[in-house]
């Protein structure tokens, strides 16, 4: 009873600010947009008359633009996660195998950019990659090219920004797994005739697999809803669902459609999220 | 006999479907050193936690000097416990750790400082009061944990595996110190241990537990010499447990299906012949040099084997050699199943 | 042998990739040139311009207040929630309680932002509170996100063997309240502090949720910086980056000191 009282505010908070918004989101996705403030009609009208429907979801499946936005989000999230792993795994491995006094500072170096302001880091990429930016200036100065390359507002710039933003999320779980692995296991494998590559493939990698899966999902889940990086660094036709949702909401003021897109994104992520919660 | 301090009456505890402690009776006398001996899952730790009040029993009662304390919360019991990995508060100095219980009891200022100093001297840690737990060695931590309980002047001190976390080299000496502290304070100590050597060496009385049941209670020498069951004999580890069928017994020993026979009580004669009852023949299967004596494992002709301890000066057989074994009828201890 | 050399090289490359943009941003903040990332000699002129930019100062001040408020609220709620999850075993509704906290952690920002906005709009229509959108709604949304993170940090901190320390305290005469005050709370303190800092950072750095739930009256620093960045980088933003990096370094230094607090190391003893 006393416990209930202590936990009561937390319950009210969670039900009010986590559960309720999700229910409302679903409700409005079933409603329709309308002139006025706020610019939508509830699916249940005055006198409990049903005036909602699955029209938004139907549009979502029929209209290639929306369907593609979901597919683009999956592609963007998957390639971001794959690239982050490719870079993050050797980094985590090197830190886990570094001398004990080096591990904490190296890990801090990887995690610290997280605290330096995400938008400012994206700003730095703009400064580096734009036509008169530092990278083009360097390439011209070294005589590799005469004319500046289009670097900013490309898929490449977008991916670079994504990897930069999400790299710490991948290194942390990978490090957690790899640092628990006994280096003696590799020595035992070597003693039994496995070369370094064979030892890595047959011993280290299988044992690190849970960490790899966790890292992939930890990047994939937030990356699938990303809006800022495609907006700031990507080409104007790179429209993953996060950016489309944003446009529906802020430019078209179609709140029910934005809500339907949010629900679709959630449905898309439900499997990775369940998988992630199982592994962690 | 010393006056009764703690009476355990039909105390039981189950976790879900698992019986941690079957209804159990036990009496602890004032000022004695009592050991609860058993393997993991024997119920010894559950019993200790029930006495401390950290678990609630499903049935039965606890009487401290005749007063029912079964329903008292842990903080209201004049019983204190030394935790297995010491549970020293990491955010307090040694002195603050020791003074914790005194502060809860309202002992403050100079009186508190005096009692802390007194008990620090008792455990030979004078001058360590300002250190933090992570700045002292394992053996010192153990003594701080002991001091933290002893400063409360408990009539009954519970010790959960007090020596288990120490290096092997430190264990024997610390055991003697524990014994000396127990005599000096006059408190009754109830120690939980899985190490039969520790229990036999330190305790006035031991209780052997298995599967939540009490198997045998008694003075170490008695339990060692006269184990009541095959389990106790095996757990104490010293004696051979032999089935009656493997021994050529005189018909004067009816009833028991198995007997305990201690290795040092068996006489071994290389190439000897067996005569009459309480003797048997076999051949040497294994030899282990033990310094003051040598241990032989003898495979018996009739099946089974016996471990035999031969003093260093006696003639020694070699591997595979035939030997005759003999013992006095008194040394065969009949065992309950 | 080859791998031994290749792996540290990749680590170095990764660190350069992580740090080069940040350090260049800070370095060029001291350049006099009007074009960002172009060296025109050492100058502090952009810091002066920054100091004179009232809209930016106002947004920064608002962000600081919102972040501090949200972090404090998050620490109160998340601290209790994390304690309950770590200590109370299977209390009634635990599965739902944990799921709601877990959901907060994994929902994409755009979804959280939109859902929060819809909640506030609905609430305002139904009960008239919160009236309009601004600093308060941003604070409430950020506190919700922060509370989930604090709960996880606190739960992880208490998941160790400290249950035994509370038992030891009770055995020495402390009732549940005294044991909580003298043992549990001091042990939770570093987690609460770390959780507060994390919640503060999340709030101070958040653009997406703030964009949804802030009205014109609630322009936080990231919202302002984002609208500027859409048009391109300016040297003022470089200067802002330098200041924020300095502040972040200060905060992280503080956090490291807190985590290094000597008795934390002793906390891992036994098992």
Euclidean distance between CA atoms C190 and C194, whole angstroms? 6
Query: Can you give the pLDDT at residue B115?
Result: 96
Q: To the nearest whole number, what is the mean pLDDT of chain B?
A: 90
What is the mean predicted confidence (pLDDT) over C148-156? Answer: 94
Query: Can you give the pLDDT at residue B16?
Result: 87
Worst-scoring range by mean pLDDT, A65-69, B238-242, C110-114? Answer: B238-242
Query: Which has the closest alpha carbon to A63: A226, A231, A190, A244?
Result: A244
Euclidean distance between CA atoms B98 and B326, whole angstroms? 57
Task: Report CB contact under 8 Å: C172, B83.
Answer: no
CB A122 within 8 A of CB C31: no
Per residue in A98-145, pLDDT (tens digit) is 988 899 889 989 988 877 888 999 999 999 999 888 899 889 989 888
Query: Can you give the pLDDT at residue A32?
Result: 87
Query: Can you give the pLDDT at residue A1?
Result: 60
Nearest residue in chain A measured CA to CA from C140: A17
What is the mean predicted confidence (pLDDT) over A263-277? Answer: 91
Neighbors of chain A by Cβ distance (3+ pairs < 8 Å)? C
What is the mean predicted confidence (pLDDT) over C72-83? Answer: 96
Query: Can you give the pLDDT at residue C215?
Result: 81
Euclidean distance between CA atoms C232 and A256, whole angstroms? 32
Instruction: Tell me which residues of chain A, numbers 42 to 81, contact chain C at a CB-CB cutoff of 8 Å.
Output: none
What is the mean predicted confidence (pLDDT) over A227-252? Answer: 93
Euclidean distance between CA atoms C200 and C146, whole angstroms? 8
- With a cut of 60, say whether residue C136 has pLDDT above it: yes
SS3 category, B210? strand
- With a cut of 90, say whether residue B153 has pLDDT above it: yes
Euclidean distance between CA atoms C180 and C159, whole angstroms? 15
Worst-scoring range by mean pLDDT, A2-11, A228-237, B245-254, B295-304? Answer: B245-254
Euclidean distance between CA atoms C34 and C45, whole angstroms? 10
Min distance C84 CA to chain B CA atoms (Å): 19
Residue A35 CB neighbour total at 10 angstroms: 7
Q: Which stretch of DSSP H or E encloses residue C158?
A: helix C135-158
Query: Can you give the pLDDT at residue C183?
Result: 92
Per residue in A244-253, pLDDT (tens digit) is 999 999 999 9
Task: Report CB contact under 8 Å: C100, A15.
Answer: yes
Nearest residue in chain B measured CA to CA from C161: B87
Higher pLDDT, A251 or B303: A251
CB C26 within 8 A of CB C36: no
pTM value?
0.85
Question: Cα dihedral sign for C212, C149, C97, C181?
Answer: negative
In CATH terms, is domain A65-241 a member of 1.10.3720.10? Answer: yes
Tokens in use for B39?
């393997």
- The torsion angles phi and psi of A237, rounded to 5 degrees, stand at -95, 5
Euclidean distance between CA atoms B271 and A14, whole angstroms? 85
Higher pLDDT, A82 or B225: A82
- With a cut of 90, say whether residue A74 has pLDDT above it: yes
Q: Which domains does chain B have, with CATH numbers?
A: 4-230 (3.40.50.300), 231-334 (2.40.50.140)
- With a cut of 80, say whether residue B194 has pLDDT above it: yes
Residues of chain C with Cβ-Cβ distance to B92 below 8 Å are 263
- With a cut of 60, say whether residue A5 has pLDDT above it: yes
Q: DSSP for B164-186, please give it.
A: TTS-HHHHHHHHHHHHHHHHHH-
Tokens in use for B328?
């006095």
Query: Which has the closest alpha carbon to C70: C133, C129, C149, C153?
Result: C149
Min distance C101 CA to chain B CA atoms (Å): 29
Min distance B189 CA to chain C CA atoms (Å): 16
Q: Which domains does chain C have, with CATH numbers?
A: 57-265 (1.10.3720.10)
- With a cut of 90, say whether residue C151 has pLDDT above it: yes
Residue B134 touches chain C, beta carbons under 8 Å? yes
Q: Confidence class of residue C261 from pLDDT cuts 50, 70 and 90?
A: low
Query: Can you give the pLDDT at residue B1?
Result: 57
Question: Cα dihedral sign for B126, B127, B133, B136?
Answer: negative
Query: Can you give the pLDDT at residue C267?
Result: 39
Give one word for B259, left, alpha or beta, with left for phi > 0 and alpha for psi -120 to 50.
Answer: beta
Q: Confidence class of residue C262 from pLDDT cuts 50, 70 and 90?
A: very low
Contacts with C249 (C-beta within 8 Å, 6 or more apart), sequence order: none
Task: Report CB contact under 8 Å: C106, A25.
Answer: no
- With a cut of 80, say whether residue B165 has pLDDT above it: yes
Residue B141 touches chain C, beta carbons under 8 Å? yes
What is the mean predicted confidence (pLDDT) over A213-232? Answer: 94
ipTM for the predicted complex comes to 0.92
Worst-scoring range by mean pLDDT, A74-88, A223-237, B307-321, C64-78? Answer: B307-321
- With a cut of 50, say whether residue C270 has pLDDT above it: no
Instruction: Tell me which residues of chain A, numbers 207 to 266, contact chain C at a CB-CB cutoff of 8 Å.
Output: 221-222, 224-228, 231-232, 242, 245-246, 249-250, 255, 258-259, 262, 265-266
Euclidean distance between CA atoms B286 and B305, whole angstroms? 11
- With a cut of 60, say whether residue C99 has pLDDT above it: yes
Contacts with B103 (C-beta within 8 Å, 6 or more apart), sequence order: B112
Residue C255 touches chain B, beta carbons under 8 Å? no
Residue C61 CB neighbour total at 10 angstroms: 11
Annotate A182-200 with three-state secondary structure: CHHHHHHHHHCCCCHHHHH
**Angle subtended by helix axes B109-122 and B138-150, to nearest 10:** 130
Task: Report CB contact under 8 Å: B73, C161.
Answer: no
Euclidean distance between CA atoms B114 and B163, whole angstroms? 28
Query: Can you give the pLDDT at residue B299?
Result: 92
Task: Report CB contact under 8 Å: C237, A120.
Answer: yes
- With a cut of 60, say whether residue C263 has pLDDT above it: no
- The torsion angles phi and psi of A10, rounded to 5 degrees, stand at -65, -40
CB C235 within 8 A of CB C34: yes
Higher pLDDT, B248 or B231: B231
Q: Confidence class of residue A44 from pLDDT cuts 50, 70 and 90?
A: confident
Query: Can you give the pLDDT at residue C147?
Result: 97
Instruction: Tell me which residues of chain B, numbers 146 to 185, contact chain C at a CB-CB cutoff of 8 Å.
Output: 148-149, 152, 165
Euclidean distance between CA atoms A249 and A246, whole angstroms? 5
Instruction: Report how many Cβ contacts below 8 Å link chain A to chain C.
Output: 225
Query: Can you give the pLDDT at residue C269?
Result: 32
Residues of chain C with Cβ-Cβ distance to A106 below 8 Å are 11
Per residue in B92-130, pLDDT (tens digit) is 999 999 999 999 999 999 999 999 999 999 999 999 999
Query: Can you give the pLDDT at residue B203?
Result: 96
Euclidean distance between CA atoms C104 and A222, whole angstroms? 12
């Amino acid at each position: 009873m006393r416990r209930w009282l202590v936990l009561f505010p937390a319950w009210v908070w969670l039900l009010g600010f986590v559960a309720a918004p999700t229910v409302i989101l679903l409700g409005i996705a079933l409603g329709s947009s309308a002139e006025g403030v706020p610019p939508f009609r509830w699916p249940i009208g005055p006198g409990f008359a049903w005036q909602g429907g699955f029209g938004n979801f139907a549009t979502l499946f029929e209209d290639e633009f929306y369907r593609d936005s979901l597919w683009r989000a999956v592609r963007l999230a998957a390639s971001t996660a794959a690239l982050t792993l490719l870079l993050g795994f050797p980094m985590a491995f090197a830190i886990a195998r570094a001398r004990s006094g080096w591990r904490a500072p190296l890990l801090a170096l990887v995690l610290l950019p997280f605290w330096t302001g995400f938008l400012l880091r994206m700003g730095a990429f703009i400064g580096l990659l734009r036509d008169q930016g530092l990278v083009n200036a360097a390439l011209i100065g070294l005589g590799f090219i005469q004319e500046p390359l289009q670097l900013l507002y490309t898929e490449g710039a977008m991916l670079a920004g994504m990897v930069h933003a999400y790299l710490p999320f991948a290194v942390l779980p990978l490090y957690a797994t790899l640092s628990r692995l006994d280096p003696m296991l590799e020595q035992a494998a070597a003693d039994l005739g496995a070369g370094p590559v064979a030892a890595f493939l047959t011993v280290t990698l299988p044992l690190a697999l849970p960490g790899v899966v966790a890292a992939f999902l930890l990047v994939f889940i937030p990356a699938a809803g990303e809006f800022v990086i495609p907006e700031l660094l990507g080409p104007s036709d790179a429209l993953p669902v996060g950016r489309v949702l944003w446009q529906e909401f802020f430019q078209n003021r179609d709140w029910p459609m934005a809500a339907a897109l949010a629900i679709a994104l959630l449905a898309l992520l439900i499997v990775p999220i369940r998988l992630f919660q199982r592994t962690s | 006999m010393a006056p009764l301090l703690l009476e355990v009456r039909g105390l039981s505890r189950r976790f879900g479907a698992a019986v941690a402690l079957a209804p159990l009776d036990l009496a602890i006398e004032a000022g004695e050193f009592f050991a609860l001996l058993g393997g993991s899952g024997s119920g010894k730790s559950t019993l200790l936690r029930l006495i401390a009040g950290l678990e609630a029993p499903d049935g039965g009662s606890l009487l401290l000097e005749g007063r029912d304390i079964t329903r008292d919360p842990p903080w209201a019991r004049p019983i204190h416990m030394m935790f297995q990995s010491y549970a020293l508060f990491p955010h307090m100095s040694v002195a603050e750790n020791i003074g914790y219980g005194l502060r809860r009891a309202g002992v403050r200022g100079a009186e508190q400082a005096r009692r802390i100093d007194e008990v620090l001297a008792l455990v030979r840690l004078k001058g360590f009061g300002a250190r933090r737990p992570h700045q002292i060695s394992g053996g010192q931590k153990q003594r701080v944990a002991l001091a933290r309980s002893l400063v409360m002047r408990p009539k009954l001190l519970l010790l959960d595996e007090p020596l288990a976390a120490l290096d092997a080299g430190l264990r024997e000496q610390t055991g003697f110190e524990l014994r000396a502290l127990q005599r000096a304070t006059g408190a009754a100590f109830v120690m939980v241990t899985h190490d039969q050597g520790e229990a036999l060496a330190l305790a006035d009385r031991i209780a052997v537990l298995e599967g939540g049941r009490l198997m045998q209670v008694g003075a170490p020498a008695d339990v060692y010499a006269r184990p009541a069951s095959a389990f106790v004999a095996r757990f104490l580890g010293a004696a051979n447990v032999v089935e009656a069928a493997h021994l050529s017994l005189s018909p004067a020993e009816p009833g028991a299906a198995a007997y305990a026979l201690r290795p040092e009580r068996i006489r071994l004669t290389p190439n000897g012949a067996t005569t009459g009852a309480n003797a048997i023949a076999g051949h040497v299967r294994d030899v282990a040099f033990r310094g003051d004596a040598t241990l032989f494992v003898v495979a018996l002709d009739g099946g089974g084997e016996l471990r035999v301890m031969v003093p260093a000066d006696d003639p020694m057989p070699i591997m595979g050699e035939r030997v005759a074994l003999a013992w006095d009828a008194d040394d065969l201890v009949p065992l309950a199943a | 042998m080859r791998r031994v050399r290749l792996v540290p090289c990749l680590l170095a490359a990764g660190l350069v990739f992580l740090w080069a943009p940040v350090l260049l941003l800070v370095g060029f903040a001291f350049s006099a040139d009007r074009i960002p990332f172009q060296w025109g000699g050492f100058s502090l002129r952009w810091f002066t311009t920054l100091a004179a930019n009232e809209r930016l100062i106002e947004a920064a001040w608002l962000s600081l207040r919102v972040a501090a408020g949200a972090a404090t609220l998050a620490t109160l709620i998340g601290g209790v929630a994390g304690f309950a999850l770590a200590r109370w075993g299977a209390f009634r509704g635990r599965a739902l309680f944990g799921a709601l906290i877990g959901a907060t952690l994994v929902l994409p920002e755009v979804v959280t932002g939109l859902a929060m906005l819809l909640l506030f709009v609905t609430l305002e229509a139904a009960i008239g509170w919160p009236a309009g959108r601004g600093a308060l709604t941003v604070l409430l949304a950020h506190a919700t996100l922060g509370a989930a993170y604090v709960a996880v940090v606190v739960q992880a901190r208490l998941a160790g063997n400290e249950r035994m320390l509370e038992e030891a305290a009770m055995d020495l005469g402390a009732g549940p309240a005294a044991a909580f005050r003298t043992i549990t709370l001091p042990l939770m303190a570093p987690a609460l502090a770390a959780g507060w800092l994390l919640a503060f950072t999340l709030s101070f750095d958040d653009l997406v949720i703030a964009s949804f739930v802030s009205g014109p009256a609630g322009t936080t620093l990231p919202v302002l910086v984002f609208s500027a960045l859409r048009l391109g980088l300016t040297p003022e933003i470089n200067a802002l980056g330098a200041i924020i990096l300095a502040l972040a370094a200060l905060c992280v230094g503080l956090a490291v000191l807190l985590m290094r607090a000597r008795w934390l190391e002793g906390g891992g003893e036994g098992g």
